[in-house]
Amino acid sequence: MRIKRIGAYLIDMFIILIVSNILSGFLPNSDKMSKISNESGTVISNYVEAVKSNSEDIDKYVEELNDFNYELAKVSVSSNLLSVFLYILYFVLFQRYNNGQTIGKSLFKIEIVSKDEEEITIKQMIIRGVILFSVITTLLDALVISIFNQSAYDSTSTFIMLLECCIFLSCAIPVLLNKTGLHEILSKTTVEEVGSKDKEEGKVSKWKKTVEEENRVKNYRVNHTSGKRKE
C-alpha cells in the first residue's frame, strides 16, 4: 500500500508543479522573481569559491545571500498563495467530489475513505489537506513577510521552517511505516484500495445496524400503539 501511496503522491505533486509553473508565468512578479533567482545563483557560486579559497569575502556573500532570500520571499508571496489555492482546489474539492481520488490515486486504484464508515466530508478533506500540504505554514510565512522587516523575518522564518518539517515528518514517516499519519488522525480518514474487502464489510455492517435500528423502532411503535388500544 505504501508504494501505491508514494507513487500517487509523486504523480499528483508533479501535476501541481506543472500547473503552478504555467500559471506563475502570468503573475505580476514573475520576471522579478526570475531575476532575483539568477542573481542569487551567481552569489552562491561566488560564496562557494570564497569558501574553497578561504577568502575574507565569505561574510559579504552571506549577507548578500540573506538579502536575496528576503527579497525572493517577498516577491514569492503571490506564487505561494497560488500554490495554496491549487492544493485546495485539487486535493480538497476535486478529490472530495471524485470519490476520494486524485489522478494519481486513480491510476494506483486507491482512495481516501472516512474511518467512521460515513461518506467523507469537505471538513475532513480540508483538515487533511491543510496539514499534509503545509497550507498553514505557507500562509503564516506570507503573513510574516508582509509585516516584519528582514531581521525579524529571518528569525521567524527559521521557526516556520522547523514547524513545517515537523508536520511533514509526522505525516510522511508513519505512512512509510504503514502507520497512521498526523493528517489521518486529525481528519479521521485513511487510504484504502478501491473496493477493498474491509470497506465493503464496513458498508454491510453499517447497513445491518441501520436495519436493526429501524426494526427496533417499528417494534416499539407497534407495541406502544397496541398497548394504548387495549386501554
pLDDT in tens, 153-203: 888 888 999 999 999 999 999 988 888 999 999 999 999 999 765 555 555
Does 145 map to a domain? Answer: yes
Q: Are residues 190 and 213 in the same domain?
A: no
Q: Are residues 25 and 133 in the same domain?
A: yes
Contact between residue 94 and residue 103 where contact means Cβ atoms under 8 Å apart? no
Q: Residue 208 is placed in which grid cell?
A: 445491518
Who contacts 100 (Cβ-Cβ below 8 Å, separation ≥6)?
111, 112, 113, 120
Q: Are residues 207 and 158 in the same domain?
A: no
Overall number of domains in the chain: 2
**How many Å apart are CA 109 and CA 35, to the nearest integer?**
42
Q: Are residues 130 and 210 in the same domain?
A: no
Backbone angles phi, psi at 122, to 5 degrees: -60, -40
Q: Structural domain of residue 205, as residue ranges?
A: 196-231
Q: Are residues 13 and 120 in the same domain?
A: yes
Contact between residue 199 and residue 192 where contact means Cβ atoms under 8 Å apart? yes
Does 71 map to a domain? Answer: no
What's the pLDDT band for 206 if we cut at 50, 70, 90? low
Q: Are residues 152 and 139 in the same domain?
A: yes
Residues in the chain: 231
The pTM (predicted TM-score) of the whole model is 0.74
pLDDT at 222: 62
Q: Are residues 80 and 128 in the same domain?
A: yes
Q: Are residues 131 and 228 in the same domain?
A: no
pLDDT at 128: 95
Q: Does residue 211 surpass a pLDDT of 90?
A: no
**How many Å apart are CA 38 and CA 15, to the nearest integer?**
25
Q: Residue 225 is placed in which grid cell?
A: 400503539
Pairing of strands 110-114, 189-193: antiparallel
pLDDT at 25: 81
Task: Please give the angle made by the CA atoms of 134, 168 and 174, to the nearest 5 degrees.
Answer: 140
Contact between residue 107 and residue 69 where contact means Cβ atoms under 8 Å apart? no
Q: Are residues 203 and 190 in the same domain?
A: no
- Distances in Å between the Cα of 42 and the Cα atoms of 122, 150, 214, 220 are 46, 21, 73, 81
Q: Residue 220 is placed in which grid cell?
A: 416499539
Does 46 map to a domain? Answer: no
Does 158 map to a domain? Answer: yes
